[in-house]
Structure formats: structure tokens, C-alpha cells
């Protein structure tokens, strides 16, 4: 689909892209770039690319597609570094979990001769680094693109086709709307997980060994979220501040209502809430975003083969 693709950043998303681009034959040449010499060396050992560059400006020379996969706080600096080396007509995108901030950081730095189309593949694990990637990461998952008002339709179609070839379903929305949606479906759950695990770690009534030893499925699953990359999530909180604070306020109000129901023994209210939330889980499974397999004992493999997953549902825009 592209003669030359430059991957600036080679963590979980970047390395997974390298794997799927290679598997599907989506690029003639894959260029891998990261500022860490050790990480770049490891990427070469894993054969993630064809060319390896520590300098992002050199990496993007003659690239038809540039994918920036760095913590969102570094987006502006990366855009500034690569801007002079970008060839006219190149598509520049990113994979950051916040879009308003990425647009405000990157758009002023990039030349008008390139097509800047921010993006966000909603796929990931708690693992990070070049060893974490795998080609199936994007299968059946949504990738949201947030084009700017003057985005070229042909460039948008090419980028959408690329993500579809990677296995994703593509949707398009406004950056501000994206940030509000992700604040509730991704950012708030991670913040709550970090907080709950921190609370358990600080408890004086129980020992840390008991917290670890008796971790039930609920706490265990919170620790999975809380094991996510600290740098990435620090930047998410700082760069989607307004939307996250609004969702935290709504969550606090709902938590207070739940607290009152428990205090006053309002069983009907509790039952209604738990019944409704159980239905939400079923909707997620029906939407193909998870599989209906019991995992309280973690007996399923980390990345089940395609035929073990829910059937993929078509639909992109």
C-alpha cells in the first residue's frame, strides 16, 4: 500500500504495526526509529524493520506514511524534529490516546505539503516495548481517525484502508468528541485502577503479602490495568485533563449514590444497578470487543488464535 513506512517509536503499538505490515505486505520498506539505542538494537534483533535510524528526521526521509507512536506529551517535539525531512504528499499520523492535545502540538509544526491525520487504534495490553508487539493486536478492534477540516479525502481513504488491512475497523470523529469518549471508556478505568491498587498497597489493616496472596479476580484485573506504561498514562492525564476531570466528577456523583444505597440497605437500587451493568458487559461481547469465555482462572491464552475469537463484524466509516 505504501513504498516506505516510517515507524517513529517502537513500543507495543509500533512493534505490532511492524509485525502486521510485514505479514500483510503493506510496505516495500519499513523504517524503525527510536531515540533509545538499546531499544533500536532490540528492534533490529527482532527483525521489526528493514532500516533502523536513531534520528527521526532521517527515518522519515522519502517515507510515504509516517506513524508516530510516542507518549502524547512528546508529540510536538517529534513533529518539530521530522518536519524539515518530510516529503510532499506524505501522510503523517499518530496513535495517541488523546487527540485534541496531539492536534494542538503537531499541526503547527508540520508543513502544509503533508497530510496530517491524527489517529488512535483502540487496542493494547499492559505490556510495553518492542518485545510486546504481535501482528493480531488490531484484529477486530476500532481505529478512530480524527481528520482536520481541510483533510484531503483521498489521503483519508488511503489511511483508512491501511488500518483496515491491519485488521481494524475504522471510524471517524471530531478530536474533542474522541477525547470525551475515551475519557470514560479508557482513561477513567485506568485512573480508578491505579487508585484502587494504590489504596490496597497503603492499607495498614492487612499486609502486602495478604493483598497479593488473596487477590480475587476483581483486584487481580485492576492490577493488570495498573501495570500499564506509567509515562503514557501520565501524559494521558495531563493532555486530556478537562474530559477526564468531567468524567471523574460524574463518577464521584454516581459513587456517592451507590454509597447511600449501601448505607441505607437499599437492595432494590443495588440489584437494579448491577443488573444494568451486567447488560453492558453482554453488549460489549455482542459488539465483538471481547469473547464470552470464563477467565477467572486465566486458562485462556494471552492472544487466542483467530478461530477462537468471536466472529469479526464488518463496519467502517
Name the least confident of 12-26, 59-73, 137-151, 231-245.
Answer: 231-245
Beta bridge partners of 66: 6, 92
Which of the four pLDDT bands, split at 50, 70 and 90, describes residue 291? low
Which of the four pLDDT bands, split at 50, 70 and 90, describes residue 292? low
Q: What Rg value do the Cα atoms of the chain yield, rounded?
A: 21
Beta bridge partners of 120: 144
Query: What is the model's pLDDT at position 314?
Result: 33
Instruction: Confirm whether pTM is higher than 0.85.
Output: no
What the chain holds in terms of domains, given with CATH numbers, is: 2-173 (3.40.50.720), 177-308 (1.10.3660.10)
Residue 297 has pLDDT above 70, yes or no: no
57: Cβ–Cβ under 8 A, 6 or more apart, which residues? 81, 82, 84, 85
Residue 303 has pLDDT above 60, yes or no: no
Query: What is the model's pLDDT at position 52?
Result: 96
Q: For the segment 119-145, what is each residue's pLDDT rounded down to a tens digit?
A: 999 987 777 889 988 999 999 899 999
30: Cβ–Cβ under 8 A, 6 or more apart, which residues? 5, 7, 18, 21, 22, 48, 49, 50, 51
Query: For the chain, what is the mean pLDDT?
Result: 86
User: How would you list the strands of the sheet with 119-121, edge to edge?
Assistant: 119-121, 142-145, 169-172
Record the cell numbers describing residue 250, joined without a space. 460524574
Record the cell numbers describing residue 295, joined without a space. 477467565
Record the cell numbers describing residue 13, joined without a space. 503499538
Which of the four pLDDT bands, split at 50, 70 and 90, describes residue 212? confident
What are the strands, taking DSSP E only, across 83-153?
91-94, 115-116, 119-121, 142-145
Tell me which residue of 3, 113, 8, 15 sits closest to 64, measured CA to CA. Answer: 3
Query: What is the model's pLDDT at position 153?
Result: 96
Which of the four pLDDT bands, split at 50, 70 and 90, describes residue 243? confident
Tell me which residue of 9, 294, 11, 291 sits closest to 126, measured CA to CA. Answer: 11
Give Cα 56 distance to the centre of its chain: 22
Residue 300 has pLDDT above 50, yes or no: no
Amino acid at each position: 500500500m505504501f513504498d516506505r513506512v516510517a515507524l517513529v517509536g517502537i513500543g507495543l503499538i509500533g512493534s505490532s504495526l511492524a509485525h502486521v505490515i510485514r505479514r500483510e505486505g503493506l510496505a516495500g520498506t519499513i523504517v524503525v526509529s527510536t531515540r533509545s539505542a538499546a531499544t533500536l538494537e532490540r528492534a533490529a534483533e527482532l527483525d521489526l524493520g528493514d532500516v533502523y535510524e536513531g534520528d527521526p528526521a532521517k527515518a522519515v526521509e522519502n517515507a510515504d506514511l509516517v506513524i508516530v507512536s510516542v507518549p502524547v506529551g512528546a508529540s510536538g517535539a517529534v513533529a518539530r524534529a521530522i518536519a524539515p525531512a518530510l516529503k510532499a504528499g506524505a501522510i503523517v499520523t499518530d496513535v495517541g490516546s488523546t487527540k485534541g492535545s496531539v492536534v494542538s502540538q503537531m499541526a503547527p509544526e508540520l508543513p502544509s505539503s503533508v497530510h496530517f491525520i491524527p489517529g488512535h487504534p483502540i487496542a493494547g495490553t499492559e505490556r510495553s516495548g518492542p518485545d510486546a508487539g504481535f501482528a493480531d493486536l488490531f484484529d477486530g478492534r476500532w481505529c478512530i481517525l480524527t481528520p482536520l477540516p481541510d483533510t484531503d479525502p483521498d489521503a483519508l481513504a488511503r489511511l483508512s484502508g491501511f488500518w483496515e488491512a491491519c485488521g481494524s475497523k475504522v471510524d471517524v470523529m471530531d478530536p474533542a468528541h474522541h477525547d470525551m469518549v475515551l475519557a470514560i471508556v479508557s482513561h477513567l478505568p485506568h485512573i480508578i485502577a491505579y487508585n484502587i491498587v494504590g489504596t490496597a498497597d497503603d492499607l495498614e489493616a492487612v499486609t502486602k503479602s495478604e493483598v497479593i496472596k488473596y487477590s480475587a479476580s476483581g483486584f487481580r484485573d485492576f492490577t493488570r490495568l495498573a501495570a500499564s506504561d506509567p509515562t503514557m498514562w501520565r501524559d494521558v492525564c495531563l493532555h486530556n485533563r478537562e474530559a477526564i476531570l468531567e468524567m471523574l466528577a460524574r463518577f464521584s456523583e454516581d459513587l456517592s449514590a451507590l454509597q447511600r444505597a449501601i448505607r441505607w440497605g437499599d437492595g432494590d437500587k443495588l440489584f437494579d444497578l448491577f443488573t444494568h451493568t451486567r447488560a453492558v458487559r453482554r453488549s460489549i461481547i455482542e459488539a465483538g470487543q471481547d469473547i464470552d469465555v470464563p477467565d477467572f482462572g486465566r486458562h485462556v491464552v494471552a492472544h487466542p488464535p483467530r478461530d477462537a475469537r468471536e466472529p469479526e463484524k464488518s463496519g467502517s466509516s
